[in-house]
A = this chain, B = another copy of it.
Amino acid sequence: MLSGSPSKFAVALFSGFQALDVFGPLDALNILSYSHPLELYILSTTLDPVSTIPAKAPTPGAVGQSIVPTHTYQDAPNDIEVLLVPGGRGTRDLEFTQPVVDFIEATFPNLRFLLTVCTGSSLAARAGVLDGKNATSNKLSFEWVMSQGPNVKWVRQARWVQDGNIWTSSGVSAGIDMIYAFIADQYGEDAATQVATVSEYTRNTDSTNDPFSKAA
């Protein structure tokens, strides 16, 4: 393990998060944790299970899953090193996601790294922490996300973007490529290769190789 690699992760959930935005990165971290012990806090507004289906006006026939939080935003441990913020339909509910935005704003100064997937970058943008920084987001929702952060330098063609200690990825599956790049950066290329081999995942290792940027 490289000296100083982070071990305390948290994920910021909210009703209507996108499942793969969370479980793409977390499954890689689950595998990593067998060789590099980690801690993971799963945060939400309450300790009730959090559904991928938005609480307000769910679409008839839409299916989803519910995840169990470990801590609330109010009771979150103060030693989080890496905060992962997913996207999803729930991000469109500005009132419902305000506690997530407030948590990002309050916590960011103490974080070592902030990672967002998909429209999760809209929450970071609303928290003001992306102002003046390069960032990307889901390609089908790009215009809306840009409207949430007019002072952000939005990058359309990017599988993911790293700017300082903030990593933002494109839509859903792009979060998997981002977490492998993050693992390679923080735990070494061998660790990333080992996790990808266990997961049988063919990485996109070029952050500028974005097959979906045309949709933006």
Contacts and interface: CB of A to CB of B under 8 A. Distances in A.
Contact of A173 (B18, B19, B36, B200): B200
B66 A67 contact: yes
Contact of A68 (B24, B49, B197, B201): B49
Interface stretch (A56-64, A99-107, A126-134): A56-64
Interface residues of A, number: 50
Nearest to A159: B200
Interface string A58-88: 0111111111100000000000000000000
A40 interface: yes
A156 interface: no
Contact of A30 (B62, B171, B212): B62
Interface in A21-42: 22-24, 26-27, 29-30, 33-34, 36-40, 42
Nearest to A213: B200
Interface in A94-139: 138-139
A68 B171 CA distance: 25
